[in-house]
Structure 1
């Protein structure tokens, strides 16, 4: 008699396959029991898939047709009466109620999917698309019993969405919204949802009392992302600071000068701080440089940065605790100060200019716990040959990840030189698998020669390195996803 694994055991095993979609799909074919568990995981985050990268029109159409098949009869009749006919996968009843498995819901992605599938079809109309969106949202609201993440922002200014009562949202742990949503939506959530761990807000117009109440009513808010590109968060700061002792991760996107971030100084338990600004709105950093964050471990300023002297003072006060430092813009004095002020770093991205090889050497020698570094290579920056030679000679014993972002078309490293680097890595003590990651700008058609690729493949097969190539967009996206909020 064949032994049957209990459901709890299968669930635990299949959870490990969540990011291995190929293997998880193969489990669908074993039996009905395995199929149901696999489907529940595959549909948990189906509506948040990255349509713009690897998912085809066929995939989007398939998801939409399945959702249409899941609609209750009254919704199907409403679409039919409005002459909206979207084919379903089968005329027979579906095996599962797929909508009920969803745990991560994005109104933005629903809009995007429907507009994409119906675009250029006879069904494509603003009112018709909104009707489909509304019926699908109503279905999710009635079928999902425990929603974990909700993203609700407008798509192409489509404001004809009515958000229904959603009892399953009481279990929400992550919420991403824009400030100009209806006050009724924020009021509904504030009445049932009190355990949000993460809130992300894009600011437009004025702040409603209901949004303030929603934030105020949370019991243990930890992650906060505020984006002020077309509005100000000034009216919400008093409410935010009520959570100053529980918030540990803070991400700010600032492109308006009237959005002060001095309130950051009142967060004593901050562990991660990300400040993004394309316009260089950093006047507040003049005061922030003197604040001590005793628990800060991650600092990321990916685009324009404060004046170097401000940031150097900040690192003098806080650098010893930093584990990760990511800075897009800097000068030589700031780059040189990292070795002195940030000796405990594990991960670093900073742009070394041409002629600053000694700065890189000193950084690798001084940061004894460094495991990963990302470096630009190109005409105005260090050459790949210089980087490989320096990493091989000066990187600390725990070092295991080298990211090279090519700002050129061709590499200056010869096949012999690259093989010499891999051989030296193989001889290191202790032995560490090296993640050798190449990042390429979309505007450059960078490729290694066939001879170099053969050498890379050889040492990849030997288990000396793990070779990975990425586009700049993929690298940015993965960097964002390394945090619990966007």
Structure 2
């Protein structure tokens, strides 16, 4: 047998990561292959592999391997504090220093290991003696891992003071922080340690720690993605908006799950934005929403690819944004809490004229907009998903508007591109059973992988058992693969 050199083997094994079952088989060939494959498998724990471990036994094996990597000093400390580790990990030391290969440090993994050992739910801050196990697990990773790439920072443990922290975190690319768990000094320390973050995710919000957070943002040289998740109520912070504006040349992805905390003036600075997702809460005041809409109207994101707005009724502003792009938009998702929305047709028209490569669109429209749908289908030949939601106030239609939804179905029947295999329509319009059947007949060649009907309010009477029977018929004939009525 011809012997492949190490570089060739490593290249092949890295390619086999897509099929991990093949890679696991390579472990058993010989010692050399095993020595090369183990680091490749472990560098992704727990980023990818832990999510696949659905069976408790598989997780238990992984967790026991990690626990076996604890030093004898750590094991003694845990024993002295009444923490009993699984007996199997004490038999012999591991064959490899598995932890040293890891590039991801996730709080979820630490939490699940503690829950396995303790047999109960683990909550940081109320963990009793198991705080020692949490401490030693973090110390293990931080001391053994050189150049962690991603960190989930959701612990009150002083991880930046643990031995090896300066080396471990110096090349972080992704950082997710639960602000409630860390103090301001720790944020300042992290700003000194890592300056090359690509991704920053902020959970919760605290006015007292805003200076440390701003310091962390300012320290980054190439920050690309910023997310604010699960933000609780708090005062608006102009300084945070200004800090984001200072990174306007590098940020290309923004995910903002509250419009109450950060003034939107920074939006005009994000000239290289490729993806924007904004969620407005039900209880956000109208003035705040209007301010965001006004700034969206005057912003320009020429490189924009994905636009997702939830809770903001800004169809005109969205249309203006689309018209200012270079035509690279692939996804637009608009959701509103308002029963009445204006200028819905403007957005569809703008997409039809400016987004030839769009693959996914979910928006609202009124019957007067149906002609724009025809233009959309004719101009956007790569469309895969189309969601057209009706507004509540079209529930109560008079007789002359009976079966007005047939116009929409006929347009979908005649002009849908072959790529369009996922469709959602609103139940606010009435449809005839014949129009339903004509539409599904037109889908025989391409098949509908997904068909859905959305109900706003209580408009369930428009979709009858006859409609559902037609859907079942075409599901039985494999024209419709999945159906959702929600």
- Which of the five TM-score ranges fits, normalised by the shorter chain? 0.7 to 0.9
2:269 aligns with 266
Sort the Cα spacing of 1:198 and 1:287 in 2 relative to 1 into closer, same or farther, 3 A.
same
Which structure would you say has the larger Rg? 2
Q: What are the equivalent positions in structure 2 for 1:62-211 lying under 5 Å apart?
A: 62-87=61-86, 89=88, 91-115=91-115, 118-120=118-120, 126-154=127-155, 159=156, 162-163=159-160, 164=162, 165-166=164-165, 167-180=167-180, 181-202=182-203, 203-211=205-213
Secondary structure of residue in 2 paired with 1:47: coil
What's the offset of the Cα at 1:96? Answer: 1.7
Sort the Cα spacing of 1:44 and 1:360 in 2 relative to 1 into closer, same or farther, 3 A.
farther
Question: Structure 1 CA distance, aligned partners of 2:146 and 2:371?
Answer: 55
What's the offset of the Cα at 1:143? Answer: 0.8
1:57 aligns with 56
1:300 aligns with 307
What's the offset of the Cα at 1:183? Answer: 3.3
Q: What are the equivalent positions in structure 2 for 1:356-375 lying under 5 Å apart?
A: 358=370, 361-375=373-387
1:395 aligns with 416
Judge conservation of contact 1:104–1:149 (CA < 8 Å) in 2.
Answer: yes
Question: Structure 2 CA distance, aligned partners of 1:120 and 1:348?
Answer: 43
Secondary structure of residue in 1 paired with 2:9: helix
What's the offset of the Cα at 1:193? Answer: 1.6
Sort the Cα spacing of 1:119 and 1:160 in 2 relative to 1 into closer, same or farther, 3 A.
farther
2:400 aligns with none
Sort the Cα spacing of 1:369 and 1:207 in 2 relative to 1 into closer, same or farther, 3 A.
farther
What's the offset of the Cα at 1:244? Answer: 1.4
1:213 aligns with 215
Question: Structure 2 CA distance, aligned partners of 1:126 and 1:359?
Answer: 61
Query: What count of residue pairs does the alignment treat as equivalent?
Result: 440
1:276 aligns with 279
1:12 aligns with 11
What's the offset of the Cα at 1:206? Answer: 2.1
Question: Structure 2 CA distance, aligned partners of 1:290 and 1:102?
Answer: 45
Is it true that 1:436 corresponds to 2:442 in the alignment? no
CA offsets, 1:447-481, max 9 Å, x none?
9999756643xx9xxxxx9x689999xxxxxxxxx
Question: Structure 2 CA distance, aligned partners of 1:276 and 1:305?
Answer: 8
Secondary structure of residue in 1 paired with 2:294: helix
Question: Structure 1 CA distance, aligned partners of 2:110 and 2:485?
Answer: 26
What's the offset of the Cα at 1:78? Answer: 0.8
Structure 1: runs of 5+ lacking an equivalent: 426-433, 460-464, 473-486
Judge conservation of contact 2:170–2:193 (CA < 8 Å) in 1.
Answer: yes
Secondary structure of residue in 1 paired with 2:142: helix
Sort the Cα spacing of 1:418 and 1:80 in 2 relative to 1 into closer, same or farther, 3 A.
farther
Relative to the length of structure 1, the TM-score reads: 0.74
Secondary structure of residue in 1 paired with 2:289: coil
Judge conservation of contact 2:364–2:390 (CA < 8 Å) in 1.
Answer: no
1:428 aligns with none
Judge conservation of contact 1:222–1:247 (CA < 8 Å) in 2.
Answer: yes
Judge conservation of contact 1:347–1:370 (CA < 8 Å) in 2.
Answer: yes
Question: Structure 2 CA distance, aligned partners of 1:353 and 1:170?
Answer: 50
Judge conservation of contact 2:277–2:307 (CA < 8 Å) in 1.
Answer: yes
Question: Structure 2 CA distance, aligned partners of 1:400 and 1:138?
Answer: 51
Question: Structure 2 CA distance, aligned partners of 1:307 and 1:316?
Answer: 14
Relative to the length of structure 2, the TM-score reads: 0.74
Question: Structure 1 CA distance, aligned partners of 2:315 and 2:176?
Answer: 33
Secondary structure of residue in 2 paired with 1:229: coil
1:22 aligns with 21
Is it true that 1:252 corresponds to 2:256 in the alignment? yes
What's the offset of the Cα at 1:252? Answer: 1.1
What's the offset of the Cα at 1:305? Answer: 1.8
Greater helix percent: which structure?
2
CA offsets, 1:382-438, max 9 Å, x none?
999999875564234xx5353346999xxx89999798445433xxxxxxxx78246
Structure 2: runs of 5+ lacking an equivalent: 396-402, 428-432, 455-467
What's the offset of the Cα at 1:16? Answer: 3.7
Judge conservation of contact 1:174–1:196 (CA < 8 Å) in 2.
Answer: yes
Judge conservation of contact 2:423–2:452 (CA < 8 Å) in 1.
Answer: yes
Question: Structure 2 CA distance, aligned partners of 1:310 and 1:415?
Answer: 34
Question: Structure 1 CA distance, aligned partners of 2:34 and 2:409?
Answer: 48
Secondary structure of residue in 1 paired with 2:214: helix
What's the offset of the Cα at 1:374? Answer: 3.9
Choose from 304, 329, 336 the match for 2:345: 336
Sort the Cα spacing of 1:205 and 1:314 in 2 relative to 1 into closer, same or farther, 3 A.
same
Judge conservation of contact 1:45–1:105 (CA < 8 Å) in 2.
Answer: no
Across the aligned residues of Structure 1 and Structure 2, the Cα RMSD in angstroms comes to 4.3
Judge conservation of contact 2:241–2:265 (CA < 8 Å) in 1.
Answer: no
